[in-house]
Amino acid sequence: MPLVRSPERSVVRWTCLAAAAGSLMLLASCSDSSAPASSNPWFEAVGGSSADDVYAVGSRGIWHYDGRSWMLARGEARGFLNGVWAASRNDAYVVWSSGDGGRTGEVRHFDGHVWKTVASAPTALQSVWGSSGSDVYAVGREGTILHFDGTAWSAISTGRGEWLEGIWGSSPQDVFVAGGDSILHYDGAHWTRQYTSTPSLAVWGSSGHDVFAVGGTNITHYDGATWSAQASGATGNLFGVWGSAPDDVFAVGLNGTILHYDGTSWTPQESGTTQHLYDIWGSSKNDVFAVGANGILQHYDGARWRPRADPSNERLPALSRLTAPPSTP
């Protein structure tokens, strides 16, 4: 079983990580369904369309930030929300996996009024991304890729039952999917495989010839022709990557790890937390969110990271007390 950015986070899962051939992978005995439910919620992904339209999703539901405060937009009574992407305030998507080890998955859409399920898969869905509201992809386990063309969702076959974890593109004709031992690339007509020699969990770029992928302690970079390893200095797994420019890129991971790339090298930043960070996204270089375990939600203002990114100084409600969230669609 490959290293995965799985929704079932627990101490038990992390102790199942083993070093093999210089990379980290999960032992076969550490199945998703074996992980005990955590009493504390976590945020698995963060994303939005602007500084006042941001979503954080995870084990208890969908949280929304309007530029002033965070509010629970929709609770999740079953399963896990693993990814989020928004084209606009009235056009957002999340992907979901069932709580039985991820045997099924769903894509849910927000039209500005309600969330509803718009597509489903026979396995967990991990990430979602689009170039526009009429060109959206959802990816997940068993090589699952779903595509929305503005009218209907359809399935795309990769030819392999691999675990696909992250997706990003510079345009409809330039899409990258992270997972396994390679990056899948779509040029608008065909999917091809680009081998990186290391598993990847997340991918982001400033353009089609400046793309970063993270997984394990590795960071690899694509220059439009080849993928090459970069010296990350990371000592624990990295799960998320995002940037505002070629010389302003962040990677997040275990124990509050935040690395920053200035166009030349990666250096650690003081994150203000020791909790695991699973994803990162921002609207600009001075407005960046990192989310993770135990309801952690950190904000970067261009100078330093602080908890509970709320300008009104209101704290998020205690997520562990949300015992009866609204029913799912």
Domain residue extents for the chain: 39-321
Under DSSP, the state recorded for 208 is T
Residue pLDDT, tens place only, 74-113 = 988 789 999 999 999 999 999 999 999 899 999 999 999 9
Do the Cβ atoms of 183 and 205 come closer than 8 Å?
no
Residue pLDDT, tens place only, 121-144 = 999 999 999 999 999 999 999 999
pLDDT score for 312: 35
C-alpha distances out from residue 119 to 123, 134, 141, Å: 12, 14, 15
Q: What confidence category does residue 40 fall into, taking pLDDT thresholds of 50, 70 and 90?
A: low
DSSP3 helix / strand / coil % (the chain, rounded to 5): 5, 50, 45
Task: Compute the average pLDDT of residues 255-283.
Answer: 97
Residue pLDDT, tens place only, 243-254 = 999 999 999 999
Do the Cβ atoms of 92 and 84 come closer than 8 Å?
yes
Distance CA(258)–CA(249), nearest Å, equals 10
Report the CATH architecture of 39-321: 7 Propeller (2.130)
Residue pLDDT, tens place only, 314-326 = 344 444 333 223 3
pLDDT above 60: residue 19: no
Between residues 45 and 14, the one the model is more confident about: 45
pLDDT score for 308: 65
